[in-house]
Structure 1
Amino acid sequence: MSFLPLGMLLFLDILMIVFVIWNNIRFRGDKSKKTSGKAKSRRSFLKRAVTSLGAEQRARQYESLEDNEFAMTPRIMRVDTGFGGEVPVAFDPDDDEFGVDKKPSSDLQLFIRSMSRCIGATNFGLSFEFENLAFHPKKSIKPILSEVTGKIERGTLSGVMGASGAGKSTFVNVLMGKQNHTGGTTKVNGVAGNISKYKKIIGYVPQDDIVLPELTVRENILHSARIRLPSNWSDSEIQGHVDILISCLQLAHVKDSFVGSAAAPVISGGQRKRVSIGMELAALPMALFLDEPTSGLDATSAASIMTTLKELSRLGITIVSIIHQPRHEIFESLDNLLLFGAGRMIYQGPENRVQDYFEDVGFRFPKHGNPADVIMDIIAGQGSLYKPSGDTDIVHLIEHWKNRELNLRNHANIQSVSTNETLALRKTIRQRGAPWYRQIYYCFLRSILQQYRFKASFFAELGVGALAGFLIGLAELSQDGINFRGLFLKPYELLSSATDYSDVPQMSLLVGLSIGLTASSPGVKIFGEEKLTYWREAASGHNRFAYYMGKVLSTIPRMLLANLHFSILFYLLTTPRISWAAAFTANLLYFWCIYGLASCISMITRREDGPLLAVMLSLIVGVLNGMSPSLRQVRIWRLQWLWRASPGTWLAEGYFDQNIGPLDYLYQIDIAADYMGYIVGQFHLDLGMLMVIGTVCRVLAFGLMRVMNRHKQK
């Protein structure tokens, strides 16, 4: 009995606990220093500003900044990009559309510089044209979209509105390339083709805030920036860009706060939505699509989000958002409207002309009502409330717009795109995204950080592994290390007492079941908890192989520590003849197999069903280890291939070989091996097959990850 491994284990555990405690204390201290430092810096800045200006009026202006650290600076018309030119900015200091409090800040000016450098053109946005657009699923009786024609100009904020089932989401998905249209044509910047090739410069913000709750605001945005920004950007440049963006989104005061989940929020709903938007803006997209960004927010938060989107559109980014029942201020902030009904277009044009259009049709708007509410009623088929007589149904509205559209089509005016801009756009797309090997590194770091943040789950796995090893050790303790009795070598076989060939396979059975129970549930959670995150990142152009490999590599330290806690206590109490190094290696490779099997389960099951199915599968492969029925009997049934496909058989064979091999001077081990059906003398092959099975499971899991819910990865 060697107590050295136990001493090493205790030292390692104490070291981990001390590290966790010290890191928590340091985090609280850093947070306190940052808070006090920000307050001191702000007071110092105010003092210098007041002294330099020397005017009481200016002093009062800067004093107000202490209560609102996001106050905007005066507008500018052109920004020196520092990259060989100026970028025109669509901010007009005389424009009454924005109040003084909504003027762009210096952070926005810096954000423009980042965009200019990243895009390499003075026009940031994309223009979209679509003609007779249609989408008819194979299993659907009626088309979801049909005869949809229109345009979205660059640098505009467009709202897509319609009743439930009107085709809003389908239209947006088709327009941005998430779904392939079944009819019609689409153009980006006047060029027809597959829109999916623009995915690296098109951002999409889903309705649900798909963010990682265990990461901070800044960490969520930073990861997206590292993966999706041009590969020639240094990490310091990316860090600076992220800090600028966080300030623009008014998240600087919560950037080090955890995002939290919807069930247990840490930051507000509006701030979560800004984080979700920031993850897309971190990649500096030229067009941004949003699915109901104001859903679930209070009126103030919703208005704040739309104000931010308006400012982004004024920078030149094309913004397209699905809007549901907007308040008056939000409705008026839109540049263009696209109104849908029954999968057809009802209106497409400027927001400030939509009321006149419906009044020309015969509808009457209440004087003090919200025009958006009236319009939603009309396009939902409730137009009779505002038109006492005449046709008010959806079909009539669709036909009226179709006739009007034919007259307007010849006057359509999409902004022309020069050849230089087209070449710059292609170059921008080619440069976007970090190399795959760097993406693996970033995904690995993020996954390690996630596991550290889930310390309770991590330490629970270590505890379960240690407890399992301890209990198996107690079960084998009475054997005093004697776990095999065979026939003595000739000529002493007549002196042999009762043989015991099954004790070693029984030991390996307990080992396999224990490791399966320890590793199956955590193995499912590695991927099963983040399917939504993976789908969003894959759709935005992340390298899927890099994401998967980063996750797989991050599980290796976890498996090593869990196996260390299991193997040390098991070996100390059981005292088998297999060497410590051999037992540790075999157990680790069995962990490798169980994690791989659990990954496959996580890809094909729902989140809540995965752990239970993984535990059941681990029990099955553990039982298929050749003990009972023996491999000899299985060979007679011609089912040996099934047992050999189970990692439990290779683990049991390796244990059998290493535990009875040292007794070949005393027993006829060939007879014992033939009786059980195991092959002795190939321990390295047993370990190699465990490695192969675990690797094959991961290859299969990666394939399932790519194939399952493929439409959500576009």
Structure 2
Amino acid sequence: MGTEILVDMEAQITQQSPPAPIFNKPNCPVTLKFEDILYKIKIEHGGLFLKKKSKSQEKLILKGITGIVLPGEMLAMLGPSGSGKTTLLTALGGRLGGGGRLTGAITYNDKPFSTAMKRNTGFVTQDDILYPHLTVTETLVYTALLRLPKTLTKEQKAQHAEAVLTQLGLSRCRDSIIGGGLLRGISGGERKRVSIGQEMLINPSLLFLDEPTSGLDSTTAQRIVSTLWELANGGRTIVMTIHQPSSRLFYMFHKVLLLSEGSVLYFGKGSNALNYFSSVGFAPSVAMNPADFLLDLANGISTDDSEEDQTTIKQTLVCAYKDNLLESVKLEVGSGHNNQLHESIDDDKQLKRWSNTWWQQFHVLFRRGIKERKHESFSGLKIAQVLVIAILCGLLWWQSDINHIQDQVGLLFFYNGFWGFYPLFNAIFTFPQERVMLAKERSSGMYRLSSYFMALTLGDLPMELVLPTVFFTICYWMAGLKHTPGAFFSGLFVLLYSVLCTQGLGLAIGAVVMDMKSATTLGSVIMLAFLLACGFYVQHVPGFISWIKYVSVIQYSYKLSLLSQYKAGETYACGDMNCVVEDSPLIKAVGGLDGLGISVIAMAVMLVGYRLIAYIALMRIGVTKSTKLK
């Protein structure tokens, strides 16, 4: 369904003239200022059970950082690992979470972070968080449909995606899948440009990038930074962290911020960096990459034969910055240009929180989810697994009848147990795998959690119900269960009902635990407890532990399966006489052939309750509140 719409959009686009670069200039230029930024986190001492009575210590991550970035400028933040680059970047981007305490002032055109500013800010994470089975075009079109305002038509949003795709040089790989892991797709540089393109769709005035050249070769890194340089020249304000750029890249940065252990060693034009450090007594002894020289200094390594230790060198450079540059930086911040946000987006009260309606978000997420997850749900391995087990069950229970009631009850219990574990473990992995994507897209304000959750839940229904239907159809008629339409369809309904309940349990466990190994272990323990307590293995369960069966999905689905096959008064051969079905010990162990309404209601409560737990658990992730300065 989603593919046809995308094809129609692409056809309409290609019939027109090639799109012009519509993002030469941002909606409104933004001046970013940050003054005396400090960030502290608390460090608890002791383990889980041995907590020290002394107060927890505070660790200073950022130590009074001041700077300004004007429209048309590209600021590169350099420093060794652990210097605070990413922390500062996320703070400036309004995405700093955690329990730390941030102080100082961060302003955007002399105003605090707001909904209007969030709409004009792009943030590219270090890791490219993309769906592997979508093509480049599909990735950008789906993002455009979600992020661009509802005032634009679907065709106009697709044209925006096409323009970005062309501007970033992705036309050659437009129909290639993203790939990832063991799935072959586009190159690392192309993947990075797709990530940048997703943010460029909103035509941001301010663009943040965390290590955009990480893991790329020098030529690809050069292309990425050249693209960013062109975007900056178009009037955007660009801030990035970068670990170890080449000399060619270094001289493309308009400004450089050098950090060491949270302190500033240099802030200013990149072309002036070497002259400044030479003026304070730290000059390279040989011709070398300026970035390498700056990183050596940030690590406390001097190129001369000085016997000073690393800590002394760092302290010397921090003091030199405060004595020589800090005052001029503060003057620049105080006299910085004060561009004003456009009137139409300046008033938060006139802005709605979401760019699109709930139904529009649901519709796009539903189509995208089906297209992405169908590859996993209908993989050849899973289909083969289900078919083999279904045929094996049919052969083992070949044409059994009611006189072999123990065998038939064993089959009913087996396939209820199998379809308890199978959808449970499929669902357990859903949210842990989706967590990073959900956090990224929700922090950008792309959609409501409710629209995402409903799209995922309903989108998985056809994929989750097809395989158990095929399994039941094959196994039912081969095993010779009751040959009536009523018995067949009621048994199928019970199985699918059970699958939905156990899927909900898996979603809840995955959402609460959010760790695949821990969630798998917990799911195994819970499902095994449900299996053991439902009355098939142990018919005389002690009273103090018999409560487990009342919360067991398998207990109720197993009982409903028995009710679909057997009616009170039916007889079967037991030795030389006939016995009624309800007197069978296997039937008595689950309370006989009554309690239909209670079982259906109990499973309905589980069907809704487990998903409600999963939804509530998801509310704690994905939305990064605007950074509050204290």
Q: If the length of structure 2 is used for normalisation, what is the TM-score? A: 0.84
Pick from 287, 295, 298: which aligns with 2:217?
Answer: 298
- 2:313 maps to 1:393: yes
2: distance between equivalents of 1:573 and 1:582?
A: 17
1: distance between equivalents of 2:62 and 2:329?
A: 21
Cα-to-partner distance string for 1:136-168 (whole Å, 9 max, x where unaligned): 111165211121222222332110111121111
Pick from 532, 535, 546: which aligns with 2:436?
Answer: 532
Deviation, 1:302, is 0.5
Q: Give the direction of change, closer, same or farther, for the CA distance of 1:275–1:609 in structure 2 (3 Å limit).
A: farther
Tell me the equivalent position of 1:215: 134
Tell me the equivalent position of 1:58: none
Q: Give the direction of change, closer, same or farther, for the CA distance of 1:592–1:432 in structure 2 (3 Å limit).
A: closer
Aligned runs of 1:371-390 on 2, under 5 Å? 371-385=290-304
Tell me the equivalent position of 2:280: 361
Aligned runs of 1:635-650 on 2, under 5 Å? 637-650=543-556
Tell me the equivalent position of 2:49: none
CA contact (8 A) 1:205 1:291 kept: yes
Bigger Cα displacement from structure 2, 239-248 vs 547-556: 547-556
CA contact (8 A) 2:399 2:478 kept: no
CA contact (8 A) 2:38 2:64 kept: yes
Deviation, 1:637, is 0.8
Q: Give the direction of change, closer, same or farther, for the CA distance of 1:358–1:453 in structure 2 (3 Å limit).
A: same
1: distance between equivalents of 2:227 and 2:505?
A: 45
Letter in 1 for 2:504: G
Tell me the equivalent position of 1:627: 536
Tell me the equivalent position of 1:84: none
Q: Give the direction of change, closer, same or farther, for the CA distance of 1:222–1:607 in structure 2 (3 Å limit).
A: farther
Does the residue aligned with 1:529 lie in a helix, a strand or coil? helix
Higher relative helix content: 1
2: distance between equivalents of 1:365 and 1:195?
A: 44
CA contact (8 A) 2:568 2:580 kept: no
Does the residue aligned with 1:142 lie in a helix, a strand or coil? strand
Tell me the equivalent position of 1:598: 506
Tell me the equivalent position of 2:53: none
CA contact (8 A) 1:158 1:336 kept: yes
Aligned runs of 1:79-98 on 2, under 5 Å? none
2: distance between equivalents of 1:395 and 1:247?
A: 48
1: distance between equivalents of 2:115 and 2:316?
A: 35
Deviation, 1:709, is 8.3
Tell me the equivalent position of 1:698: 611
CA contact (8 A) 2:33 2:110 kept: no
Pick from 163, 169, 174: which aligns with 1:255?
Answer: 174
Q: Give the direction of change, closer, same or farther, for the CA distance of 1:423–1:705 in structure 2 (3 Å limit).
A: closer
Tell me the equivalent position of 1:687: 600
Tell me the equivalent position of 2:369: 447
Letter in 2 for 1:415: H
Bigger Cα displacement from structure 2, 445-454 vs 210-219: 445-454
Tell me the equivalent position of 1:166: 83
Q: Give the direction of change, closer, same or farther, for the CA distance of 1:418–1:525 in structure 2 (3 Å limit).
A: closer
Tell me the equivalent position of 1:228: 147
Letter in 1 for 2:39: F
1: distance between equivalents of 2:149 and 2:344?
A: 18
Cα-to-partner distance string for 1:181-230 (whole Å, 9 max, x where unaligned): 62423333244545688444322212222211111111112222211111
Tell me the equivalent position of 2:47: none
- 2:433 maps to 1:514: no
Q: Give the direction of change, closer, same or farther, for the CA distance of 1:707–1:337 in structure 2 (3 Å limit).
A: same
Letter in 1 for 2:608: T
Does the residue aligned with 1:339 lie in a helix, a strand or coil? strand
Does the residue aligned with 2:212 lie in a helix, a strand or coil? coil
Q: If the length of structure 1 is used for normalisation, what is the TM-score? A: 0.74
Does the residue aligned with 1:288 lie in a helix, a strand or coil? strand
Does the residue aligned with 1:695 lie in a helix, a strand or coil? helix
Pick from 432, 435, 443: which aligns with 2:357?
Answer: 435
CA contact (8 A) 2:400 2:407 kept: no
CA contact (8 A) 2:121 2:206 kept: yes
Aligned runs of 1:323-338 on 2, under 5 Å? 323-338=242-257
- 2:454 maps to 1:558: no
CA contact (8 A) 2:568 2:581 kept: no
Deviation, 1:697, is 1.9
Tell me the equivalent position of 1:523: 427
Cα-to-partner distance string for 1:391-448 (whole Å, 9 max, x where unaligned): 9611121122223313542443222144754854648963753223222221111111
Tell me the equivalent position of 1:659: 565
- 2:30 maps to 1:133: no
- 2:478 maps to 1:573: yes
Deviation, 1:239, is 0.4
Letter in 2 for 1:580: F
1: distance between equivalents of 2:37 and 2:174?
A: 42
Does the residue aligned with 2:616 lie in a helix, a strand or coil? helix
Does the residue aligned with 2:104 lie in a helix, a strand or coil? strand
Tell me the equivalent position of 1:276: 195
- 2:59 maps to 1:147: no
Tell me the equivalent position of 1:499: none
Does the residue aligned with 1:430 lie in a helix, a strand or coil? coil
2: distance between equivalents of 1:243 and 1:425?
A: 30
Tell me the equivalent position of 1:471: 392
Letter in 2 for 1:624: A
Deviation, 1:610, is 5.4
Does the residue aligned with 1:129 lie in a helix, a strand or coil? strand
CA contact (8 A) 1:472 1:510 kept: no
Deviation, 1:595, is 1.7
Letter in 1 for 2:461: I
Asked which structure has the greater RCO (Cα within 8 Å, sep 6+), the reply is 2
Q: Give the direction of change, closer, same or farther, for the CA distance of 1:550–1:350 in structure 2 (3 Å limit).
A: same
Deviation, 1:608, is 5.9
Letter in 2 for 1:516: G
Q: Give the direction of change, closer, same or farther, for the CA distance of 1:513–1:468 in structure 2 (3 Å limit).
A: farther
2: distance between equivalents of 1:284 and 1:427?
A: 22
Q: Which has the larger radius of gyration?
A: 1
Deviation, 1:640, is 3.9
Q: How many residues align?
A: 592
Letter in 1 for 2:536: M
Q: Give the direction of change, closer, same or farther, for the CA distance of 1:713–1:554 in structure 2 (3 Å limit).
A: farther
CA contact (8 A) 1:592 1:694 kept: yes
Cα-to-partner distance string for 1:564-599 (whole Å, 9 max, x where unaligned): 111112221234347111111100011112222222
2: distance between equivalents of 1:205 and 1:395?
A: 33
Q: Give the direction of change, closer, same or farther, for the CA distance of 1:712–1:620 in structure 2 (3 Å limit).
A: farther
Q: Give the direction of change, closer, same or farther, for the CA distance of 1:154–1:545 in structure 2 (3 Å limit).
A: farther
Letter in 1 for 2:505: L
Does the residue aligned with 1:334 lie in a helix, a strand or coil? coil
